[in-house]
Amino acid sequence: MTLTMTACGPVIHAFSPVYGTSPGMGAGAVVLGDPSQALERSVMMSDERRAYLAQRWTHWQEYEQTTKADRDGLHTRQAGFE
């Protein structure tokens, strides 16, 4: 994923064709919002892959917003690889 920094914060510019989602990306998905414009700009990606990523992005946003895991507890940090 490529981000563009704006005065209002980060905005998703585009996704790599091998980008994948995971449970650890829920908080970032909430902060970054709707990925639809970035998915439109993404190259070398089928329409089916774009639709799948949009669906999973929404899933992890909703998961993050509904579970609200213990924010003060011990958390692990995960680096994304492409």
Alpha-carbon distances of 36 from 24, 39, 55, 67, 78, rounded to whole Å: 20, 5, 10, 24, 24
Given this model, what pLDDT does residue 71 score?
59
10: left (phi over 0), alpha (psi -120 to 50) or beta: beta
- Positions in the chain short of pLDDT 50: none
